[in-house]
Chain A
Amino acid sequence: MKRRSIVALCLVTVLAAAVAAATSGATKKATASGITVWLQTDAQNGWPDIVAAANKQFQADHPGVSVNIQYQSWTDHLQKFDATLAAGTTPDVIEMGNTEMTKYMAAGAFQDLTSLKGTFANSATWLKGLAASGQYNGKIYGVPYYAGSRVVTYRTDLFKKAGIAKLPNSLAAFAADSKRLFANQKKGFSALYVAGEDWYSAMGFVFDYGGGIATRVSGKWKGILDSPKSIAGLTAYKNFFLSVSRAGKTAIENSPDPNPYDVFAQGQAAAVVGPAWYTCCTGKYKPVTGQFVMPGHVKGTVMPGFLGGSDLAVPIGANKALGADWIKDFTSTAAEKGLEQKGNIPNATNLLGNSVNERAAARSWFVPQAKHWVDVENGNILRNMLGQILTGNLTVKQAAKSASDNIASVLNQP
């Protein structure tokens, strides 16, 4: 009996000591002898020269302050960020996806950069969609970094063979052209490969018809997917999908379903819709690959494309002056022009060129700026809605109403 209680006592002492050591006092924040910057591996692979240039400029302005760039993966950088937030060891600059920003801004994870807006290059002409993702309650927490839109990547040879002289300038024209593209192709071939549950494409239709996903009405979120305009857009998507795509009705646009660019490279599609970087992976069809802007339903218009992108923010507990200064160097006009040359969309309208990617950004849509929007995405509410519409399990109206109510309840959580 006695021995057991001694052992138990020792165990409790060790545990208590561990707890005390861990909860006593905050970790000392590193003094300004160096800053830590978290960028995604896209920068390491795609534009390491731009990163190096920014570091050089920063170190010229701040001699003696080293820059430690740590490259992160999209799959787990938020888990790591949460751990640093809990421990108080946040990096001085972090790259966040534009859809990831709102949740963290609402929780107070970033420092207010509003007063420093003037120091960032071209801040007066920041891309509206991208800049909006870095703002919350009227304050600026994220500096736009770069964006990417969605375009149609197509086989110039197949279009030529089908006798399509002029690229389609409306959805109706595209649907008509697709009939010619289907000729003499084997089963499973798609004129335009769109995965059924590719909500990025589908929501473009909704916005093209003037609808939307959710709006804020007197402080509460209201789902508007069941509005007449949204339903028109969803119906248009259903009809368009059935006429041009032979993809799975419940397939998504990446793993474990086939990636559209792989479908393209296998010769199973005359065109695919997706980010502009799809040209990287067209395999043996690279010489006959071209891109054009997805047309809207009104002749001559551009279908609103989802503007993906990244912002740069200074987390709470970090060195605001130095962090913001590094961001300034990394989003300078020269840096942004460099990013543009690598095929991205720069962060300001005055820097926009005329590439297909950039023209597609002329009309763009973005997700509701709600702190629980991530939960809607993770809950696959939009994907499931599309699956039910395309398989015919529910009518467009029923599926839209159900999704709309679902979205509202998720967004309105405290």
Chain B
Amino acid sequence: MALSRTQRRRVRQGGWDALGLAVFVVMVFPVYWMVTTAFKPVTEIISVTPSWFPLHPTLGHFRAALRQPFFWEDVKNSLIIVGATVAISIALAFLAAIALARYRFGGRKLFVVLVIGIQMLPQAGLIIPLYVVLAQYHRVNSLIGVIITYLTFVLPFSVWTLRGFLIGIPEELEEAAMVDGSTRLGVFLKILLPLMAPGLVATSVFTFITSWNEYIFARVLLNDQSKQTVTVWLSYFSGTSRNTDWGALMAASTLTAIPVVIFFLLVQRRIAFGLTAGAVKA
């Protein structure tokens, strides 16, 4: 039986969708495991035969997680640190990326070497001297110290990635607009920014997640529990010399993952197909 063209397209679409769902299931399975463990009573967590679904779900672990002191303060600190890092790094990196992608200037290769080289440094080696530097500037145990540290690590990456996206945008677009009488700012707002939106979003999501999950520098640089980030808060569940409360740890981890997902859902529309369709019809 011959299928009409629309029918064929629907079948093909269905095939892709099925594949997409299969990939979803495989990728998300460990996350599923984490979340369901948060709802399982302890006997189910340690039982010899694992259960695919919590048979007797309990909210006890979430309650235990929230009882660990300073959760809300630490979430606030994380949001401040990550928010500032994302905002500042995107702005500064975008500017630097424009310089690299659109200008020729002496010392350009040196800057590129700096940008790439920093990312190649093993971070473990930087903990002690970085602490010493921040102590000198009296920025230990302060959110600003952590923000500056994170900026140092995400800026090179952001510059490098945004440059890549910028290179993909043909200069002819800007030139054409300028010839048409647009100001430089107009070019920036009407041409560059919309075309760069997907790249900016992808980079900011990366910065968000990397900063949100960063542990060792936050641990070393922040002393007061009221100033720590939520990732450090999470470490208190497994840092004792006694047993680890897996249920509470999984519940706590689920809680710390929520803001990231919310942020992504807010910005994900910008990584959409078809955004550029209009601009390219020149």
Contact = CB atoms under 8 A, between A and B. Distances in A.
Interface of A: 1-8, 11, 18, 21-22, 24, 27, 36, 40-42, 44-45, 68, 70-76, 79-80, 82-84, 86-89, 97, 259, 261-262, 265-266, 268, 275, 277, 280-281, 283-284, 308
Nearest to B69: A44
Interface string B228-241: 00000001101111
Interface in B117-161: 127-129, 131-133, 135-138, 140
Contacts of A275: 242
A8 B136 contact: no
Contacts of A41: 236, 239-240
Q: What are the 5 closest A-B residue pairs judged by CB atoms, nearest first?
A: A73-B239, A7-B107, A3-B106, A4-B106, A83-B131
16 contacts: A4-B106, A5-B106, A11-B107, A22-B129, A68-B224, A73-B238, A79-B216, A83-B220, A86-B129, A87-B131, A87-B132, A87-B140, A89-B135, A262-B46, A277-B242, A308-B241
Contact of A83 (B46, B110, B128): B128
A83 B235 CA distance: 19
B135 A40 contact: no
A280 B220 contact: no
- Among B110, B236, B243, the most chain A Cβ lie within 10 Å of the Cβ of B243
A40 B241 contact: yes
Given A68-B224, A266-B46, A284-B43, A7 B106 contact: yes
Residue in B47, B127, B135, B236 with the greatest tally of chain A CB atoms within 10 Å: B135
B247 to A, nearest CB: 12
B42 interface: yes
Interface of B: 42-43, 46-48, 105-107, 110-111, 114, 127-129, 131-133, 135-138, 140, 216, 219-220, 223-225, 235-236, 238-243
Contacts of A6: 106-107
Contact of A76 (B105, B107, B216, B241): B216
A39 to B, nearest CB: 11
Contact of A87 (B46, B106, B135, B243): B135
Contacts of A259: 243
A80 B46 contact: no
Nearest to B222: A70
B132 A22 contact: yes
Nearest to A27: B135
Nearest to B41: A283
A385 B232 CA distance: 36
B140 A79 contact: no
Given A80-B220, A266-B48, A42 B240 contact: yes
A400 B136 CA distance: 50
A375 B61 CA distance: 38
B130 to A, nearest CB: 8
Given A8-B107, A80-B219, A284-B43, A45 B240 contact: yes
A11 B117 CA distance: 15
A268 B48 contact: yes
Contacts of B138: 27
A2 B106 contact: yes
Nearest to B219: A76
A88 B135 contact: yes
A44 B46 CA distance: 26
B43 A74 contact: no
A277 B140 CA distance: 36
Nearest to B223: A70
Nearest to A308: B241
B75 to A, nearest CB: 18
B243 A86 contact: no
A78 to B, nearest CB: 11
Contacts of B43: 265, 283-284
A74 B241 contact: yes
Contact of B127 (A24, A73, A83, A280): A83
Given A22-B132, A83-B131, A40 B105 contact: no
A97 B241 CA distance: 10
A402 B128 CA distance: 36
A71 B239 CA distance: 10
A41 B238 CA distance: 9
A11 B111 CA distance: 9
B110 A280 contact: no
A87 B223 CA distance: 14
Contact of A86 (B114, B131, B219): B131
A40 B136 CA distance: 27
Contacts of A82: 128
B225 A70 contact: yes
A277 B242 CA distance: 7
Given A3-B105, A41-B240, A73-B239, A22 B133 contact: yes
Nearest to B46: A262
A261 B242 CA distance: 11
A2 B106 CA distance: 8
Given A21-B137, A83-B220, A281-B243, A71 B236 contact: yes
